[in-house]
Structure 1
Amino acid sequence: MTLPGARGAALVEWISGLALGRIGEAPGDDHEEMAAATAEFARSAAEHPVFTAPPAGPPASPSAGPSAGPAAAPADAGRTPAVEDIVVTTPTAYHLLRFVEAPYEGGLFLHLWLDRGHANLALSLLRMRELAHKLVLA
């Protein structure tokens, strides 16, 4: 909450939509509603085939056709999804979502709500990444 423009933050379990921790304000003044809505959005992005990472290794040759090589696997529910960050901008705010690796089934993400007029988007993304990296879940 020491970031310029920070209005609120939450640690959300993205399968159930529960806020495991929260601080500051929530859009609409309801942390639980915000957690459920952002979890649905985050889960949709994390599981969508458009956003999954391609498999490691050399790319399939274009002439080999659609059956060449394995398809990108959907995100595993107990691991960090292929999506790392989601940034949503509105006329008045930034919403930053950063996925966090969890040692159990069900993923987590940090949600930071920023006042667009006072926030530094690049700095906020860097700090979110640092925080997520330092976060230890047992």
Structure 2
Amino acid sequence: MADVNQSLQEAMSLDGAVGAALVDWQSGMTLGTAGGGPNLNLDIAAAGNTDVVRSKLKVMQNLGLNDKIEDILITLTSQYHLIRILERDQSLFLYLALHKEQANLAMARYKLTQIERHLSV
């Protein structure tokens, strides 16, 4: 099992990684961050992506969908933003921002799944 910091550093080892965070979507608070910088404030991104998760859950409820979110992909012109809800703790998500031209999206999604499996919170 890997702790939060080890897991986020592993996410940052992906090609094109800009920033990573573990977020409690109920409070909007980060439990850990790696990377980021002047163009990516991870605390602001965490709070904003919390709203994304809440909105999607509300839509699912309104549609009567009895299902779980695995991940949410937001594609910008220059970046991918991945939100991966943790299987064993649905109140947490891994957030990963990637440079679009440098990233392999399929590999990033696969790697986040692996990181989640080994993450000890």
Instruction: Indicate whether the TM-score tops 0.5.
Output: yes
How far apart, CA to CA, are the structure 1 residues paired with 2:38 and 2:79?
10
Higher normalized helix content (fraction of residues): 2
Q: Structure 1: which 4+ aligned runs deviate by more than 3 Å?
A: 26-29
Contact 1:51 / 1:83 at 8 angstroms: preserved in 2? no
Go from structure 1 to structure 2 and tell me whether the alpha carbon gap of 1:132 and 1:27 turns closer, same or farther (over 3 Å shift): farther
Per-residue CA deviation, residues 46-67 of structure 1 (Å, 9 max, x unaligned), is 3322797xxxxxxxxxxxxxxx
- Does 2:102 correspond to 1:107? no
The aligned counterpart of 1:93 is 79
- Does 2:31 correspond to 1:15? no
**Pairwise CA RMSD:** 2.2
Structure number, greater radius of gyration: 1
- Which 5+ residue runs of structure 1 have no aligned equivalent? 53-70, 74-80
User: How far off its partner does 1:89 sit?
Assistant: 0.5
The aligned counterpart of 1:40 is 51
- Which 5+ residue runs of structure 2 have no aligned equivalent? 1-11
Aligned residue-pair number? 109
Q: Tell me the percent identity.
A: 35
TM-score (normalised: structure 2): 0.80
